[in-house]
Structure 1
């Protein structure tokens, strides 16, 4: 039985190339193509493919927002395929629920196998992405103090600064100070980015 895929990329030549590669695999059926994130969401809802192959930088609705919607509705597994491998892009995509993260220089045979793995629910990461996550986890665990990690875990649970202070028996000003240190060490500027980056780097567990 063939696996079913929707391709989402704003460049027609990329979509055409991906369709050719996947069709040649013999066991992959491309059900549709989307030129933007909103169209990808609509096709995922209507066609219910096994996998959506999702670019990140697209008009109307970007790939991260589209991924979050598709995954939240359980319409398909999402496998990101992009040229971007920054920590922020990786963190946002994985936090949105992407099953995997590949780069567009992925060899043809590996791409087809990655689609199969994503359809099975397996995590698929390009080697450079996996290396970044592993390095980030090692650095993150060393960089954050025990108290900073406690504060970050509380932020991930949705607690406000006053609530964190009461739970940890510290003042609100101290909570803010710890958060400032966390932001600096993770290279982010807000609470949401701190949590998503920490999850992507393996510092915090992914939400169940």
Structure 2
């Protein structure tokens, strides 16, 4: 069973997300949150959280600054941002702060279900018209030079990550524990000078 945190001011949207999860065929325990200050406390209480669904207008979010601080200590936590309005600068900011996806609240239940399933599988979701945010990544030459710092196992982890595999799937491929894969990823983040899984995936796009 997956542990999903739904942080949204509206009970109707929280219910809609739960319906979306059910329609996606996902077996989930859902934790409902109404304000940002509850997020950290709930993460500490709910072990092995699989997904955070976050209302972009949640009180105290402070234009994603709080999200960036949170993901500095929860680098593997997928976050799907739900918003009423979207712009290129908004999407870029969300991804650079570590979000795994952005979706409009006006999206259909079918599209929401697809988004939830996609993010949980390790994919990165973004509005098609806002692909320009990908340009805001470290230079290719810098990344290629940094790759020489990786060990052979770290390069292997990075290669599996390129194909969207989860930590558990990578562990099975390499005959390593999920915890060991997380440790390898932490070292990869430091060596490539990225600070979350989203930025790492963005960097990989430039060097493959």
TM range (shorter): 0.5 to 0.7
* 1:28-43 alignment runs, 5 A limit: 28-43=27-42
Change (3 A) 1:137 1:91: closer
Structure (1 or 2) with the larger CA radius of gyration: 1
**2:81 aligned with 1:76, yes or no?**
no
Q: Which runs of 5+ in 1 are unaligned?
A: 141-149, 154-198
Most deviating of 114-123 and 21-30: 21-30
Runs of 4 or more consecutive aligned structure 1 residues displaced over 4 Å after TM superposition: none
Confirm or deny: 8 A CA contact 1:78 1:100 kept in the other structure: yes
RMSD across aligned positions (CA)? 3.2
Aligned length: 142
Q: 2:112 is matched with which residue?
A: 111
| Offset at residue 53 of structure 1 (A) | 0.8
**Structure 2 matches for 1:127-142, cutoff 5 A?**
129-134=127-132
- Cα-to-partner distance string for 1:45-70 (whole Å, 9 max, x where unaligned): 32232111111111133462343233
Structure 2 unmatched ranges of 5 or more: 143-198
User: Equivalents in 2 of 1:36, 1:88: separation in Å?
Assistant: 24
* Length-normalised TM-score, structure 2: 0.56
Contact preservation (8 Å) 2:17, 2:112: no
Are 1:9 and 2:22 counterparts?
no
* Structure 1 residue 137 displacement after superposition: 6.9
How far is 1:100 from its partner?
0.9
Q: Which residue of 2 aligns with 1:27?
A: 26
Q: Deviations over 1:135-193 (max 9, x none)?
A: x778x9xxxxxxxxx9xx9xxxxxxxxxxxxxxxxxxxxxxxxxxxxxxxxxxxxxxxx
